[in-house]
Structure formats: C-alpha cells, structure tokens
Amino acid sequence: MTRKIVHLAVYDTQADWETGHATAHLAQNGFTVRAVGLTTEPVTTMGGLRIQPDLALDALDPADSALLILPGASLWDTGDKLAPFARAARAFLDAGVPVAAICGATAGLAREGLLDDRAHTSAVSFYLEATGYRGGERYVEADAVTDRDLITAGPTEPVAFAREIFARLGVYEGEQLDAWYRLFHDSDPTAYEILSA
C-alpha cells in the first residue's frame, strides 16, 4: 500500500466507540488518519467529544486515500444530511479504494445502492430492510464482512471491524492478525506474545 492516509468521516452524533481500535492501530502502524467533515466546522460526537475536521468532504479525493471509514451516527437515520458521505463511498469504490462502514453508515450505503450486489452485514437484517434496499439476500449474519473493497460491521463489533480493515490494508496478517483479534476481542493473554515478537 503506497498511500498511507486513511480518511475518517466525522459528523455530529457519531458513535465514538466504533472506530477507535481501527484508527489507533492504523496510526501506530504508519498510517495518518485525517478527519473529513461535511465542512471544516467542528462536530460533536455522541460522547460529547468535539472534533475539528482536517478537510471538508468536497476536497476529498479517493486518489489521495488508502481507505474511507464511515462510523455510525444518529444522523444516518434522521434524514439525508449524511447522504454526501454515501455518495463519497460510491466514488471511492468506483476508484478501487476501500470503504469501511459500521452501524448506521451501513444504512446510508444501503440507501445509496452500494449493498445491493455485495455481501454485507449490519446491526440486524431488518434494520437495512427498512431502507428499501434490494440487497437483503446478500445480508450475512456475521461480526464483520468484507466483499471486494467494502467492509461492513454492526455497532457491537468494533474489534471485528478493525480486524477486517487491518486485513484489507495489510497492517497485520496471518498469525499476527489472529493474535491481535484474540487479544482485543477475547482478552487472550497468549496473543500478546505473538504481537510483541
């Protein structure tokens, strides 16, 4: 992977817990994480944290990125305010640049038609069915799913979500990837030795 910048979408009401494992370990492994907002105005997360975006969405170019991460947020289910991020995801996927969406962001991608022909997951199948999308037969009951350049996960699976991101970007592979997951998902102390070797 030559591009070492990962773009994290940030917006009001975003779920703080869903992307922390991914962004922290990407940053520790040579990636720069840049926050992209609808504008460069600060946003406030569900947890009350204030985030200043590094750039506005209209300045985001898939050619400058290794990955776009879309966290969940209440706003995904209360109107079309975040629809521009789903359109950006389409541009990324069309350019062959991966997208990772978790929780409510999966509903945004469903509305955009990006889950109609890809295996995917979310919180529960009927959550996505409510969007009116046509990809229901491609829904998978799993912690996280990768199909081509698209990674999806439900809101309770930030560790599995991060694992899929690391696998796609080559951050951890094979035994190390498995050890990372066992350490952070299962609290398996034997995994630490493998990671620190």
Q: What are phi and psi of 62, to 5 degrees?
A: -55, -30
Give me the percent of the chain exceeding a pLDDT of 90: 97
Separation between Cα atoms, residue 66 and residue 134, nearest integer Å: 28
State the number of CA atoms in the 13 A half-sphere of 160 facing the CB.
16
- If we measure between CA atoms, which residue out of 130, 128, 84 comes closest to residue 106? 128
Contact (Cβ atoms closer than 8 angstroms) between residue 112 and residue 89: yes
Which DSSP string do the residues of 47-92 spell out, in sequence order?
T--EE--SEEGGG--GGG-SEEEE--BGGGGSSSTTHHHHHHHHHH
CB burial string 11-37: b at 16+ within 10 A, e below: bbbbbebbbebbbebbeeeebebbbbb
Of 93, 96, 95, 85, the residue nearest 120 (C-alpha): 93
What digits encode the pLDDT tens for the residues 24-79?
Answer: 999 999 999 999 999 999 999 999 999 999 999 999 999 999 999 999 999 999 99
Cα torsion 4, 28, 186, 49: sign: negative
> Measured between alpha carbons, how far is 192 from 7 in angstroms, rounded to an integer?
28
Closest CA to 153 of 177, 121, 126: 121
CATH, range 5-171: 3.40.50.880
Three-state SS at 176: helix
**What pLDDT was estimated at residue 102?**
98
pLDDT over 60 at 1, yes or no: no
With a cut of 60, say whether residue 93 has pLDDT above it. Answer: yes
Is 177 a catalytic site residue?
no
Q: Which of 22, 103, 105, 153 is catalytic?
A: 103
* Confidence band for 197, pLDDT divided at 50, 70 and 90: confident
E strands present in the chain: 5-9, 32-37, 43-44, 50-51, 55-56, 67-70, 99-102, 144-147, 150-153
Residue 94's pLDDT is: 98
Q: What average pLDDT score do residues 132-142 get?
A: 96
Tens-digit pLDDT profile for residues 185-195: 999 999 999 98
Q: What is the pTM of this model?
A: 0.96
2 has a pLDDT exceeding 60: no
pLDDT at 196: 85
